[in-house]
Every structure is written in C-alpha cells, then in structure tokens.
C-alpha cells in the first residue's frame, strides 16, 4: 500500500521521486483484502507483487520506513539500518473494515512523508 500510495501521489504532484516496497519474507501473492480496499479508493495494485528486501534496494534508498507490522526483529534486516518505524498493524488476517483503517493511516503517513521530503 505504501509504495502504491507514494508513487501515485508523486505522479499526481508531477514529482520524479519513487518508492519501492519490500518485506523480510516473500509472500506468494498480494493480500486480496488489501487489493479490495485499494480498489475502493481508485488506487489499484495491478502490476504489484510481494518483494523481498535486498541490499541493492537499501543502497538506493534515501529513506527507509518500516511498517512495524510485527515482523520478527531478529529476521528483519532493517534493524541494522536507520529507519523510521510507523508502527502500523499488519493487514493480514483482518477483515475489510480493519484493512480500510490501516490503508487510510498508510495514506496519511505517505502524504506526510512527501511533505517532509519537501517535494
């Protein structure tokens, strides 16, 4: 959600910045409840897929943000990096009403991040 919101808003603002999202474990597919929540607001996740965080992604990053979705801290490579943790719930296993709340908070945080970056 964060990558999609960031890139969607950056395009809307005619900015050249882009986000890439990845996790510590590669899921096989997108969460269908998340997909539904994003489609509801006209920001579909078409073409997106779960990715595993790589050293190359870290090297290219100007800013690293973790969602704080309860990943095992020992398994998370971002624990060695300067990151901003948003402390959000993982949408996995939640119903659409809860995922909507998470989605809306992600959107607010992404817009705030773009404002902070001064772009």
Read off the pTM: 0.84
Condensed to tens digits (0 to 9), the pLDDT of residues 6-44 reads 999 999 988 889 999 988 776 778 999 999 999 999 999
Q: Is the CB of residue 66 less than 8 Å from the CB of residue 58?
A: no
- CA 47-90-48 angle, 5° bins: 5
Condensed to tens digits (0 to 9), the pLDDT of residues 66-109 reads 887 655 555 555 555 557 889 899 899 999 999 999 999 999 99
pLDDT band at 113 (very low <50, low <70, confident <90, very high): very high
The CA distances from residue 83 to 58, 68, 94, 101, in Å, are: 11, 11, 26, 23
Domains of the chain in start order, with CATH, are: 2-113 (3.40.50.2300)
Q: Which residues pair with 76 in a beta bridge?
A: none
């Amino acid at each position: 959600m964060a990558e999609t919101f960031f890139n969607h808003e950056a395009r809307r603002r005619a900015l050249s910045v882009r986000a890439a999202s990845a996790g510590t474990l590669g899921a096989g597919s997108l969460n269908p409840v998340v997909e539904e929540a994003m489609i509801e607001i006209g920001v579909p996740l078409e073409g997106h897929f779960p990715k595993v965080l790589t050293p190359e992604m870290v090297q290219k990053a100007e800013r690293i943000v973790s969602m704080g979705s309860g990943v095992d801290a020992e398994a998370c490579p971002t624990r060695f990096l300067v990151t901003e943790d948003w402390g959000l719930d993982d949408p996995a296993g939640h119903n659409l009403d809860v995922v909507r709340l998470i989605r809306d908070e992600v959107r607010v945080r992404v817009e705030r991040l773009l404002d902070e970056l001064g772009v």
